[in-house]
Amino acid sequence: MKPWAWWFWIGWMLTASLGLSAADLSVQGSDTMVLLAQRWATAYMGSHPGLRIEVSGGGSGTGVAALVNRTADLATCSRKIRAREVESYVRAFGVRPREYPVALDAVLVHVHPSNPVSALDFDQLSGLFSGRIRNWKQVGGKDQPVVLYGRESSSGTCEFFRETVLRGGDYSSSLQPLQGSAQVVASVAADPGGLGFSGGLPGAGTRRLRLAQRPGQTPEEASEATVRSGRYPLWRRLYVYVHVPVDRGAVQDWVTWMRGKEGQSMLGELGFYRLEP
């Protein structure tokens, strides 16, 4: 650990040993998880008077950067931390941030209810979101241009979809990046040619496509059973990363609560799934 990093460590250990103040616990990161983190914070504060937890979004990458910059105690991430992000944290503090899986999620693909297409495989999805396929008739739909909606580049959902579906390739330059899942769903619901992806949110006003990883496979609808079994091909774990010096006391208790019966019971209403059945 670099000499100056010891002062960060010692300072935070002293703060933790004196007890967590109301202004010390901040959470930043995934827009997919921001509502969940806010619900968890509200419920936990209700049983812990005097503790104030501040939650904000901005994207998974923004959350991890906040850990490195010491502007957040916990980062919510809808994908695993990147190697380069771990390197930045280790350079600053000499250790890796603590990783805690907190939920399972299905990334959903949305179309307008008037769209006759009901299922796609990853080859078709990749063609659509890369811009190689630009008309719905090329995948069995109407003779109608495809209008793409997705997430901004700092989003973990954006990165997960690029890696899993586009195999690391580039999105079409016509894709309209939006800040949160709710905006993606609302945009597709208002656009007969719309196609978008989101995490968590079930998607009122749109129709969710059944997905297959390869051509010829049976396409699967997202559900707890298909996510838990891996049959739905766009599933992932959601994470909380914690700044190591504060991973004790009230912070550790809250993370344990998230992963326990009470915290996990709140997942379903927001479209997420429990870590364990």
* Structure tokens belonging to residue 64: 């991890």
**88: CATH:** 3.40.190.10
pLDDT tens digits, one per residue of 175-192: 999 988 889 999 999 999
Domain count, the chain: 2
3-state DSSP assignment of residue 50: coil
Q: Which domain, by its residues, includes 146?
A: 105-229
Q: Is residue 156 a contact partner of residue 30, using CB atoms and an 8 Å limit?
A: yes
| 59-62: long-range contacts, CB 8 A cutoff, minimum separation 24 | 59/29, 59/30, 59/31, 59/152, 59/154, 59/155, 59/156, 60/29, 60/30, 60/154, 60/155, 60/156, 60/159, 61/85, 61/153, 61/154, 61/155, 61/156, 61/159, 62/28, 62/29, 62/154
Amino acid (1-letter code) at residue 217:
Q
pLDDT tens digits, one per residue of 3-31: 434 433 434 443 343 344 444 689 999 99
Between CA 177 and CA 172 the distance in angstroms is 11
How many degrees, rounded to 5, is the angle at CA 98 between CA 94 and CA 100? 165
Between CA 129 and CA 114 the distance in angstroms is 20
Amino acid (1-letter code) at residue 135:
N
Same domain, 111 and 161: yes
Same domain, 47 and 162: no
Same domain, 112 and 132: yes
Calculate mean pLDDT across residues 34-53: 94
Q: Provide φ and ψ at 12, rounded to 5°.
A: -75, -30
Same domain, 217 and 116: yes
Query: What's the pTM?
Result: 0.86
pLDDT tens digits, one per residue of 87-145: 999 999 999 999 999 999 999 999 999 999 999 999 999 999 999 999 999 999 999 99
